[in-house]
Chain A
Amino acid sequence: MSKDNKNNIKDSLKKLEEISQWFEEQEEVDVEVGLQKVKESAVIIKSLREQLKEAENEFELIKKDLQD
């Protein structure tokens, strides 16, 4: 996995955490704003689910002369 991709996951999770926290912190949630945030989080969740999609691990034997 590339470093960019990894940072993307971290940033996306952070964003979700912020949204989740936003809901917790609001004494009175503005449904319109809440709905907007849910829509935003749905896009993020979909992209993160892609990361968790089952993909076979790649295995490579590195051939190095270790006899030196």
Chain B
Amino acid sequence: MQNSLFTSSEEIRLTEIRAKLASELGLSPLKVWSAKAMTALLSSRPNTLAELKQVKGFPKKSADKFGPAIVAVFSSGQAEYATHDPEGSTAPEEPREPIMPVGEYIDYLNVALKSLADIKVIGEISAFKVHTTGIYMTLKDAGGDGVLECYINPYTYRGLGLPLQEGMKIIIGGAPTIFRRRGSLSFRVETVELSGEGTLKKAYDLLKQKLTEEGIFDRKRELPEFIGKVGIITSKSGAVIDDFRHNLLQLGIKLNLIDCRVEGKQSAPQIIRALRTFNNEMPELDCIVVMRGGGSLEDMQAFNSEEVVKEVFASRIPVIAAIGHDRDVPLTCLAADTFTSTPTAAAVLINNSWTKLIHGLPNYQQNILNGLQVAIQTSKAKVSSFGHRIAGGFSKILMRFNFHSSQVSAHLKTLESKLVHTSQEVRFISTSLAQSMQDLLTQTKDRISGIEKILAAASPERSLKLGYSISYNSAGKIIRSTKQVSTGEKLDIRLSDGTIKAETL
């Protein structure tokens, strides 16, 4: 550790060599080799070129270029500071105080000052000036009279992601440097931390206002439905990830965690890197969840850093920020598409993306079945109604039938009684008729008998019996006159008891 201003003759010699080389090459001494490389050289003390090339932290290019001069410093007989000895005397001399040109002395001082990089300085910004070449500010003791001029490289300032302002209390890291041309000391700031709630709140408000004006908080994308692939950015060792996982429905969701610091100066760059990794290498993710447990404004610095906020905004994959907080919502949350204050709530959001299926499915099922049931019931009711109508119609027919039937029945009865009556009449008539017939028959018989008697009296038979006869010619005709008979004609003469054959004479 080179925290002391006391330096060895070897270091002085090396500084001289570097300054000389720098001057020859037209470079800044630190470009020849850095303070870190110097420290490495001094602790390794390489005696040969091979050893020099093994020194960790010392650039190999420099070893090739300046190797012999460097190795000579550590090899025997060269360790002591080579004094200016124009005479070239080899006689032992009294040790002499080192004498250096101003520029070299400043370089020497700067090397020594570099070794103070471990010390951080706390103070309040009393003056703050933004210039094209960088940020120039004055840091002073809040309660004392100490003043320190500081310089921040523009690139470093952008990387800080912090809006600095006069009055803010900050802790700076870096190293003091003396400008060769002016001989003034300036602290080259490499890191800035905000100190105290007041400063943090001020920075928070400033950045919030700036980002609001830029519209960073306006864009909100809807989370996709049925989230199945999730990128998680948080610390793998925190309770947060367990809470999140325990509250997530078991639906075979793929969770990809990038383990990140969520506090301290490493956290912001790690979160940014994780966001970029997910966006570039896993673009198929449905969402990214950035998580952290609760904390104070000081703990939340990474999530209030402009760089992180803008990276969240730049994410092509929708971002859920689940960051616990007190009063001030971390700016990362405001830039995210959705934010919650607990990992459980973030898990619920993801679960909710499945609601349409989880609750919708039974609903649709019920609706559809109800629909069919209603249809069946309606049809049944219709059938029943048709049945009733048919039954009604039939009943009408039946009633009419009954009516007609009773009518017919009544008619039949009438008919029957008429029939009985008629039958009686017929019977009576027939009886009368029979009687009449009998009477008529008797009368007829009597008449016939009378007529018979008359006939009998008038019968030729009777006449025959009385002795009359009837003659027939050969032709069988009754001979009524003698004129009808010729001589020799054969005749039949019929008597009552037979026929006599005769011949006329």
B251 adjacent to A60 (CB under 8 Å): no
A66 interface neighbour in B260, B357, B368, Cβ under 8 Å: B260
Chain A residues with Cβ below 8 Å from B254 are 1, 57-58, 60
Chain A residues with Cβ below 8 Å from B375 are 23, 26, 29-31, 34
Instruction: Say if the beta carbon of B92 comes within 8 Å of chain A.
Output: no
A29 interface neighbour in B245, B255, B356, B371, Cβ under 8 Å: B371
B357 interface neighbour in A26, A48, A57, A67, Cβ under 8 Å: A48
B361 adjacent to A35 (CB under 8 Å): no
A24 interface neighbour in B228, B257, B367, Cβ under 8 Å: B367
Chain B residues with Cβ below 8 Å from A31 are 372, 375-376, 379
Chain A residues with Cβ below 8 Å from B364 are 13, 16-17, 19-20, 41, 45
CB interface residues, B 225-278, toward A, < 8 Å: 225-226, 228-229, 236, 245, 248, 250-260, 266, 269-270, 273-274, 277
CA–CA, A26 and B378, complex, Å: 12
Produce 1/0 per residue, A40-55, CB < 8 A to B. Answer: 0100010011011011
Instruction: Say if the beta carbon of B69 comes within 8 Å of chain A.
Output: no
B255 adjacent to A62 (CB under 8 Å): no
For the complex formed, measure the closest distance between the CB of A6 and the CB atoms of chain B, giving whole angstroms.
5
Closest to B277 in A: A64
Instruction: Say if the beta carbon of B374 comes within 8 Å of chain A.
Output: yes
CA–CA, A55 and B251, complex, Å: 5
**In the complex where A10-B225, A66-B260, A66-B273 touch, is A55 in contact with B370 (Cβ < 8 A)?**
no
CA–CA, A67 and B266, complex, Å: 8
For the complex formed, measure the closest distance between the CB of A25 and the CB atoms of chain B, giving whole angstroms.
10
CA–CA, A26 and B374, complex, Å: 11
Chain B residues within CB distance 8 Å of chain A: 224-226, 228-229, 236, 245, 248, 250-260, 266, 269-270, 273-274, 277, 284, 286, 354, 356-358, 360-361, 364-365, 367-372, 374-376, 378-379
Known: A45-B364, A57-B245. 18 other contacts (CB 8 A): A1-B226, A9-B225, A13-B357, A13-B364, A20-B368, A23-B370, A23-B371, A29-B371, A34-B375, A37-B372, A45-B365, A54-B250, A58-B252, A61-B236, A61-B259, A62-B257, A62-B277, A66-B273
Identify 28 residue pairs between A and B in the complex whose beta-carbon atoms are under 8 Å apart, listed by A's number. A1-B228, A6-B224, A9-B225, A9-B357, A10-B226, A13-B356, A13-B360, A16-B365, A16-B368, A19-B368, A22-B371, A23-B374, A28-B378, A34-B375, A41-B368, A48-B357, A55-B251, A56-B252, A57-B253, A57-B254, A58-B254, A59-B257, A60-B257, A61-B236, A61-B257, A62-B256, A64-B274, A66-B270
